[in-house]
Structure 1
């Protein structure tokens, strides 16, 4: 019996050893450690990418005007140092023999339906408004809600510091919509909206609020969940299909998202305590949804977005024909754009139209283009204005 037990133990040990060897062999070979990106003390940044067999690797970054060639060392690591770079958060990627790839050494990425980019955060000597600071922090949650045609929609929801500590307190809500091909995560992961609000609330500059970040692409979700192919994005801002999709989103927001949020979060459920804002396509969705639902929103923020005078006259004429009522209802109508933004001309034309019609609005024109660096600036500028007396 003793000999049987010893033989059994030996057999079990042998099986375990063979399994361990198999696991080790199944693992991919490990190359040299790659550190990327490396932000240096002088604000220059070193990027690295392991590709021993590649013949050409370039860095593409939003702070560079053209792709930057990288150099390969004896270990097959390609690298380049650029800068110094103005402190901010920037997307970047690598072109490896003509194929665009993310940085595998970096866990920070840009959520987007179409392109895949990594993110580099270059800190300022004084912490920027989107930086992680030693202040009370709110919470970020992922939510799923019943949406159109039996589908399930997704949201990212920010609740301010202290939300869980005072179960009787209720809060205003800012519905914040990202741009074309962006997702519900983009305002959170790229825009750092949660950190911006944490910092502004800590400084007494913004009121505590709930921020709801939905995915604006209803058509893609319908296709995905019903087994179809994702439809192409419409060409043109006034394209009838683009307008239809914007209105479909507005119906989902007012008919499904707002009721879900007001059922599951402690909110002040009236128009004076609801704001809506968005970037690019999300800004167009913002304006169309707000102007169609003046009974639901008193605060409206369009970032790099506009409606044409033609569409205003055709679809939203009460906004300008009864301007006294519009100015009374809207506590804030905000329009902002970068001077190098490809939507600059249309946005300025929209501002001029509002001015000619005596519609009250606030505006901000910044340097730069259609970027999330500008979006963070707009969020930091507008949230202190929301829900103020």
Structure 2
């Protein structure tokens, strides 16, 4: 009886071992490194898709859009582009017509829509936004009671020394991202935290707190109440857009600022508050600042404007007494790229301000409506805030 039970059991165990061995020895797919930044500043992108018909490098940051990639015998598609000018660039792949991000890359662009992958090409000498051997501040996520019973989120940068110098108070820069961007974008793509770490260490900027709110509270309300996300506005200064901007302004003034000033060591007066933003965030910046002159002394518009018609209709408090406005605002900054689709509107707005004798700082660079340019605007404005 023992032999009869032993051999079947032995055979079953042997089959399990052979089966496990065959599974363990199954060939592994190729290990894919992507992106790979080469010493000559060319970049190699790779994607494993043995059954795909076509794979394209998506995006036009590297000279042309939708560049065909080449399939290797191991099923890995690849392409090398460049040399590429040092900066941070978004990209993705189009696999048989479907856009995806790079599964080999964890560095993603925070966005409400498609989250592109990001690649950083380092400069020969460290860029102002590069990670350097200096004292570093901290970045944290905070939740606060927001409009219409929702819960809002902000990303907050505190400079090096904040936790040790417990008696010291700081000025605050409220910094707002653009359309479809999130509260993380100025941190993860704009690198404002590293820029300030380096500038403060070099004595080029004053130590400050940076508060990065989410610029689309209507979408957050919809998400938290189980409703569909509202569609994008068709006009930047249409009725719907202005209503949404007003909702953001209400949230910032009545909820975000009081929360920050209650929970952080801040200097609570207009001379120690700045507000700035990119694209939609720039439009929110200008309207919020012009409606609340008592709150902000520094105003930074990155690739945005207000039309002369809206200025005449809604902001005569700014234009009717230019001497007062010029005294109120220690900085009114307007940055734009010559290839930006908002260049024409921005220059018209700047000419309007000139005609009204309103002082402002104009900064014009090349390039378009990109976060590469946003870092240039930050580089111009961070050193002059609160000085």
TM-score range (shorter-chain normalised) is: over 0.9
Q: Look up the SS of the partner of 1:310 in the other structure.
A: helix
Q: Look up the SS of the partner of 2:45 in the other structure.
A: strand
Q: Which residue pairs with 2:133 in the alignment? A: 134
Check whether the contact 2:340–2:368 (CA below 8 A) recurs between aligned residues.
yes
Q: 2:354 matched to 1:355?
A: yes
Q: Following the alignment from structure 1 to structure 2, what is the Cα–Cα distance between the partners of residues 383 and 273? A: 13
Q: CA deviation at 1:32?
A: 1.2
Q: Which residue pairs with 2:370 in the alignment? A: 371
Q: Following the alignment from structure 1 to structure 2, what is the Cα–Cα distance between the partners of residues 65 and 217? A: 32
Q: Which residue pairs with 2:45 in the alignment? A: 47
RMSD between superposed Cα atoms in Å? 1.7
Q: Following the alignment from structure 2 to structure 1, what is the Cα–Cα distance between the partners of residues 354 and 159? A: 35
| Structure 1 residues 211-226: aligned runs within 5 Å | 211-226=210-225
Q: Following the alignment from structure 1 to structure 2, what is the Cα–Cα distance between the partners of residues 379 and 142? A: 22
| Structure 1 residues 1-389: aligned runs within 5 Å | 30-61=28-59, 62-388=61-387
Q: Following the alignment from structure 1 to structure 2, what is the Cα–Cα distance between the partners of residues 153 and 76? A: 45
Q: CA deviation at 1:380?
A: 1.2
Consecutive unaligned residues in structure 1, runs of 5 or more: 1-13
Deviations 1:274-312, CA, capped at 9 Å, x for gaps: 000000000000000000000000000000000000111
Q: Look up the SS of the partner of 2:305 in the other structure.
A: coil
Q: CA deviation at 1:232?
A: 0.5
> Aligned in 2, Cα 1:76/1:362: closer, same or farther, shift over 3 Å?
same
Deviations 1:53-101, CA, capped at 9 Å, x for gaps: 1000010232333221100111110000000000000000000001000
Q: Look up the SS of the partner of 2:139 in the other structure.
A: strand
Q: Look up the SS of the partner of 2:267 in the other structure.
A: coil
| Count of residue correspondences | 368
Q: Following the alignment from structure 2 to structure 1, what is the Cα–Cα distance between the partners of residues 66 and 100? A: 13
Q: Which residue pairs with 2:9 in the alignment? A: none
Q: Look up the SS of the partner of 2:126 in the other structure.
A: coil
Q: Look up the SS of the partner of 2:157 in the other structure.
A: strand
Q: CA deviation at 1:273?
A: 0.2
Q: CA deviation at 1:30?
A: 4.9
Q: Look up the SS of the partner of 1:110 in the other structure.
A: coil
Q: Look up the SS of the partner of 1:168 in the other structure.
A: coil
Q: Which residue pairs with 2:3 in the alignment? A: none
Q: CA deviation at 1:318?
A: 1.1
Check whether the contact 2:62–2:81 (CA below 8 A) recurs between aligned residues.
no
Check whether the contact 2:155–2:184 (CA below 8 A) recurs between aligned residues.
yes
Q: Following the alignment from structure 2 to structure 1, what is the Cα–Cα distance between the partners of residues 353 and 332? A: 10
Q: Following the alignment from structure 2 to structure 1, what is the Cα–Cα distance between the partners of residues 187 and 68? A: 31
Check whether the contact 2:38–2:44 (CA below 8 A) recurs between aligned residues.
yes
Check whether the contact 2:182–2:214 (CA below 8 A) recurs between aligned residues.
yes
Q: Give the TM-score normalised by the residue count of structure 1.
A: 0.92
Q: CA deviation at 1:322?
A: 1.1
Q: CA deviation at 1:116?
A: 1.9
Q: Following the alignment from structure 2 to structure 1, what is the Cα–Cα distance between the partners of residues 27 and 235? A: 48
Q: CA deviation at 1:29?
A: 8.7
Q: Following the alignment from structure 1 to structure 2, what is the Cα–Cα distance between the partners of residues 324 and 381? A: 25
Q: Which residue pairs with 1:5 in the alignment? A: none
